[in-house]
């Protein structure tokens, strides 16, 4: 736990950070121990305000509509889940057995909600100024990459456009689901840039007679969520490999 807090750059009481990391499924299975939904509610508001103010101050030339779209991108579940993965949040989550068995540590919704809960905990434990700085530190990598605004708002369209710009075949999605009907978890795989065998240089995967230049993976509580997460993963890989190959 101490290493986790060190990566966040904050110090919080054990009870407070423990609550922020506790999903309601764990609470229900452990005698009603306090869970993180109230902190998540608070953190969502703090996150939105911090991002809104920064966008307003940094971009006096942008219209209200453009600012709103950028804010939506930065506070989206996809973006916050990526923040959660970047700080290694998944391994520290306190989940009930059902969520544990259905891949809860990789679900975008749970990761995003927990990031918001941690923001709420920082506000409660350390005050509004520290919480504001903490939020901006978390999302700075997203601010620093303007191309991500469009990608995070609509990853599937962005991936399709990126593939077309490079003369690659359209993305192909494959989705599988597991778990009970009321609590299914879906895993999506998307492949981009399939070409005839021998035509690609440095292809990483082989599927039948085709080389897959880029693949992306995503997990979600619905097929749509899983495909969106996979598309953003593939978009990130495709842009990174294109930049490195330039």
Provide the annotated binding site: 40, 113, 116
For residues 121 and 27, is the Cβ–Cβ distance under 8 A?
no
Predicted local confidence at residue 236, as pLDDT: 82
Predicted local confidence at residue 222, as pLDDT: 83
Residues in the chain: 246
Q: Is the pLDDT of residue 129 over 60?
A: yes
Pairwise CA distance, residues 40 & 36, whole Å: 6
User: 1-10, 68-77, 183-192: lowest mean pLDDT where?
Assistant: 1-10
Q: Is the pLDDT of residue 177 over 70?
A: yes
Q: What is the pTM of this model?
A: 0.69
Mean pLDDT of the residues in the chain: 83
Dmax over CA atoms of the chain, in Å, equals: 60
Predicted local confidence at residue 49, as pLDDT: 96
Q: What average pLDDT does range 180-207 have in this prediction?
A: 61
Q: Is the pLDDT of residue 200 over 60?
A: no
Query: How would residue 3 be classed by pLDDT, with cut points 50, 70 and 90?
Result: low
Predicted local confidence at residue 48, as pLDDT: 95
Query: How would residue 210 be classed by pLDDT, with cut points 50, 70 and 90?
Result: very low
Pairwise CA distance, residues 170 & 237, whole Å: 15
Provide the annotated binding site for Mg(2+): 40, 113, 116
- CB atoms under 10 Å from CB of 27, counted, come to 18
Query: Alpha helices, DSSP H only, in 87-222?
Result: 97-101, 108-126, 128-143, 147-153, 155-165
Q: What average pLDDT does range 18-25 have in this prediction?
A: 95
Query: How would residue 204 be classed by pLDDT, with cut points 50, 70 and 90?
Result: very low
Pairwise CA distance, residues 229 & 226, whole Å: 5
Domains and CATH numbers, the chain: 2-147 (1.10.1520.10), 154-242 (3.30.160.20)
Catalytic residue among 106, 108, 116, 227: 116
101 compared with 48, residue with greater pLDDT: 48
Closest CA to 227 of 161, 170, 154: 154
Predicted local confidence at residue 243, as pLDDT: 54
Q: Is the pLDDT of residue 47 over 90?
A: yes
Q: What average pLDDT does range 162-166 have in this prediction?
A: 85
Closest CA to 239 of 161, 174, 172, 175: 161
Q: At which residue do the structure tokens 């469009």 appear?
A: 150
Residues 6+ apart with CB under 8 A from 33: 22, 26, 27
Predicted local confidence at residue 162, as pLDDT: 85
Active site residue 11: no
Pairwise CA distance, residues 163 & 239, whole Å: 10
Percent of the chain with pLDDT over 70: 83
Pairwise CA distance, residues 28 & 23, whole Å: 9
Active site residue 44: yes
Query: How would residue 201 be classed by pLDDT, with cut points 50, 70 and 90?
Result: very low
Predicted local confidence at residue 196, as pLDDT: 38
Pairwise CA distance, residues 161 & 29, whole Å: 45
């Amino acid at each position: 736990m101490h290493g986790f807090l060190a990566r966040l750059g904050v110090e919080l009481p054990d009870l407070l950070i423990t609550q922020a990391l506790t999903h309601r499924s764990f609470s229900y299975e452990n005698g009603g121990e306090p869970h993180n939904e109230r902190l998540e509610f608070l953190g969502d508001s703090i996150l939105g305000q911090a991002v809104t103010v920064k966008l307003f101050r940094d971009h006096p030339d942008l219209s209200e509509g453009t600012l709103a779209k950028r804010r939506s991108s930065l506070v989206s579940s996809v973006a916050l889940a990526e923040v959660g993965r970047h700080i290694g949040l998944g391994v520290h989550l306190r989940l009930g057995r059902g969520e544990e068995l259905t891949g809860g540590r990789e679900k975008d919704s749970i990761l995003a909600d927990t990031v918001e809960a941690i923001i709420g905990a920082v506000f409660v434990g350390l005050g509004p100024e520290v919480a504001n700085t903490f939020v901006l530190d978390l999302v700075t990598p997203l601010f620093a990459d303007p191309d991500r605004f469009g990608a995070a708002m609509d990853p599937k369209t962005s991936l399709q456009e990126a593939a077309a710009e490079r003369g690659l075949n359209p993305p192909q999605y494959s989705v599988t689901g597991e778990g009970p009907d009321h609590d299914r978890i879906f895993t999506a795989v998307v492949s981009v840039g399939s070409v005839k065998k021998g035509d690609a240089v440095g292809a990483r995967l082989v599927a039948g007679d085709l080389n897959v230049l880029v693949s992306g993976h995503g997990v979600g509580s619905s097929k749509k969520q899983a495909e969106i997460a996979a598309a953003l993963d593939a978009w990130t890989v495709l842009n990174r490999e294109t930049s490195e190959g330039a």
